[in-house]
Copies of this chain bind each other. A is one copy, B any other.
Amino acid sequence: MSTKPSRELETFPNPKPERDYEILLDAPEFTCLCPKTGQPDYATLHVAYVPDEKCVELKSLKLYLWSFRDEGHFHEDVTNRILDDLVAAVAPRHMTIEAEFYVRGGITTTIVATHEP
């Protein structure tokens, strides 16, 4: 597996598909750019999902999150985009993403989006 930023999310087979269980991933190192000003934004992402046939491979998730580093994205947009990409990759039974963005203009923004098939 490469160590370059990549939009490819790799998966591995869920070792226990006969049970509904939850996987929680906390990634405090997300950064992208503000599409208006070009200045960097920072967020902590929390992903929680119930796997069906596939689980997301951790290193590919790291490289995937890294791939946003030089792109401009609005908070609301990028959170839903990541949810869509993860849903497309692992087809979970349930998935929630919570993105806590760092304070801008004295206001802290958190976006919470959920996918239920």
Contacts and interface: CB of A to CB of B under 8 A. Distances in A.
Interface size class of chain A, counting residues whose CB lies under 8 Å from the partner chain: 35 or more
A67 B3 CA distance: 23
Contact of A16 (B21, B27, B76): B76
A1 to B, nearest CB: 10
A66 B39 contact: yes
Interface of A: 3-4, 12, 14-16, 19-29, 31, 37-40, 42, 51, 55, 58-59, 61-62, 66, 69, 74, 76-77, 79-80, 102-115
A18 to B, nearest CB: 10
Q: Give the number of times this chain occurs in the complex, counting copies.
A: 10
Given A21-B113, A22-B113, A58-B107, 10 more contacts: A14-B76, A16-B76, A16-B77, A19-B114, A21-B114, A24-B109, A24-B112, A28-B42, A29-B102, A58-B105
Contact of A77 (B15, B22, B69, B103): B15
B113 A80 contact: no
